[in-house]
Structure 1
């Protein structure tokens, strides 16, 4: 079974679905990307991928002319539809978005590192599908784990850690879920372009795709996107490595 298949199974778990029912506010980087586009959004069509239980639905649906939210977890789609009955919420695997016509959206968003739940081949499929459904000049926005992150792949007590209650709590969680960690550590991958890393998400039960911003920009350009802007997790636009930022945000346009 591929890592992306294992990850998809995790997001059907009822306990995980309950976690995503809690509505969190938009990240500052999301605000910094979307707020300057308010006028375009007001009349545009937006495809929101990987919505979970609807965190981005709450923020984006009121801003756009037409909103469609999708996720590849049936359980999360049901949860989002219950929370937002007036929104167009559908099941969809972003690797095959054949239910949508070519150039049918002005904006495509994939939030909270959802793209990183897929392996490299799956990621390339998503980039191709997003390019297909996005109109020329349309915006493609997403976040992704940062391979330059200084604590990438470390356990809480490793490296230069910050002592305190948070570190103790995370250390206790890592010890409780040592079996997951021990199993998936063997499945990690390091290549010149990307890494698949077992991190602390959902009790060390996932492999996530990590990529450096400079490599991600090149990957986007190779897939037919241009004018790439990069933000750290606090919403600051940057062209430099950001070792303190565990994930990065990207805003590009279809060429």
Structure 2
């Protein structure tokens, strides 16, 4: 997927400084509120943005991430918490039917190859108890309009100080070159298909590939994995909209009880 960006120290540091829940996350966790107080698995935990909230509420809390740097950062921020290196595609080491709630926040599922996305759905279904919930977010293909986004251009904040302005311009030029180089490197891996796209978007200077899915396509995929009664939530926390046109969509999917 070309996502070496998420192993870089500057990206790990960025994730380690984040703390707030988004309105969509508050709404999504509210949908499954009784389960938040049960046995929680926090997948793709990053720097521990969600750990402080969930660990305080859950009967038991475990977290995992595929990046060693992210795991180290999360452990440093939340000492004594069960934080492990692990792969969302297998959830190896997590027993069958041992979780009430699985959270995969901040579009983490979108940095797994699209062809392996169903593995995540199945692994989560395996570890959930009957009546458990899978809460996660994903980029919305509908915002693309059938076209890949252009390389984003860095802005320059104007200042009256000529030396400071020169430094800012030089940094913007360097950033633009980096973004254009990353686009050239990853452009051939972009895909526009029925129901999903693989996109070299602006994240971290266009250094990664991101999966975007059509919400209708994702609902079908969740049903194929055995999930039912899926709730969709927009960025501002509104649920089950007729038109799902937000950049990110949250899904709350239930394992049959």
TM-score normalised over the length of structure 2: 0.86
Conserved? CA contact 1:38–1:63, under 8 Å: no
Q: Does 1:181 align with 2:217?
A: no
1:26 aligns with 21
Q: Does 1:11 align with 2:12?
A: no
| Root-mean-square deviation (Å) | 2.2
CA deviation vs aligned residue, 1:142-196 (integer Å, no higher than 9, x gap): 00000011577323779xxxx997xxx9x96555421001221221012212111
Partner-residue secondary structure (3-state), 1:192: coil
2:51 aligns with 57
CA-CA distance at 1:206 after TM superposition: 0.8
Conserved? CA contact 2:141–2:213, under 8 Å: yes
Partner-residue secondary structure (3-state), 1:149: helix
Structure-2 separation of matches of 1:148 and 1:208: 14
Partner-residue secondary structure (3-state), 2:189: coil
Conserved? CA contact 1:149–1:242, under 8 Å: no
Conserved? CA contact 1:155–1:174, under 8 Å: no
Structure-2 separation of matches of 1:131 and 1:39: 18
Conserved? CA contact 2:152–2:202, under 8 Å: no
Unpaired runs of 5+ residues, structure 2, are: 158-168
CA deviation vs aligned residue, 1:90-121 (integer Å, no higher than 9, x gap): 11011122201110100001000000001122
Aligned length: 240
* Residue in structure 1 matching 2:126, options 129, 132, 143: 132
Partner-residue secondary structure (3-state), 1:109: strand
**Counterpart mapping for 1:83-122 below 5 A:** 83-122=77-116
Structure-1 separation of matches of 2:28 and 2:225: 21
Conserved? CA contact 1:213–1:241, under 8 Å: no
Question: Using a 3 Å threshold, how does the CA distance of structure 1 residues 123 and 18 change in structure 2: closer, same or farther?
Answer: same
**Counterpart mapping for 1:1-255 below 5 A:** 3=1, 6-7=2-3, 9-42=4-37, 44-150=38-144, 153-155=148-150, 173-174=175-176, 176-243=178-245, 245-255=246-256
CA-CA distance at 1:41 after TM superposition: 2.4
TM-score normalised over the length of structure 1: 0.87
Structure-1 separation of matches of 2:27 and 2:204: 28
CA-CA distance at 1:34 after TM superposition: 1.4
Moved over 6 A (4+): none
